[in-house]
Structure 1
């Protein structure tokens, strides 16, 4: 189970972290590649970062996951 929250993004009012959109996508890619390379089943769930501005980052990350696995 991989909790791919976006509350780590820059500007999130609760986390205080400063991760860029590219950083979130790279994080997700690292987890997906590692699981795939090691034949580990993975369930990716979304959480945190419930701001409207995070939607584009989430969509890009999911699109990247599909491209990695196909």
Structure 2
């Protein structure tokens, strides 16, 4: 099991400790991410995902393309641009295709009083995988 968890300040990667099942302990890698910087976020995201894929060599990735990291999100704090969301999702498409790993994607997160405002951020996932 692998979990990449977004946090307003840190991105956390939880790695299984040993080969026991069920997994009891996790190692954690914290990567500090300044808010307001899509480029910094993307570089940290890419490094963490590449390390996780290389370490675990998964048979399948289930990717929750949350948009609560978007700058217009009412609860998120990372302030990532719409283009940053697209680049994140495009990276996931490219790395899984390059490594021959099937990927199942879901949209998630995104907290707005006007739900129509979530359409454009969520569309970035579809655009990244279609284009």
The structural deviation recorded for 1:57 is 2.5
CA distance in 2: counterparts of 1:60 and 1:44, whole angstroms: 12
The normalised TM-score by structure 1 is 0.84
Higher share of residues assigned strand: 2
Question: Over the residues paired in the alignment, what is the CA RMSD in angstroms?
Answer: 1.4
The residue aligned with 1:54 is 118
Question: Which consecutive unaligned segments of at least 5 residues does structure 1 have?
Answer: none
The normalised TM-score by structure 2 is 0.47
Higher share of residues assigned helix: 1
Equivalent residues, number: 67
Work out whether residues 64 and 108 of structure 2, in 8 Å CA contact, stay in contact via their aligned partners in 1: yes
* Structure of higher RCO (CA pairs closer than 8 Å, 6+ residues apart): 1
The residue aligned with 2:49 is none
Q: Which runs of 4+ in 1 moved over 6 A?
A: none
Question: Which consecutive unaligned segments of at least 5 residues does structure 2 have?
Answer: 1-61
Larger radius of gyration: 2
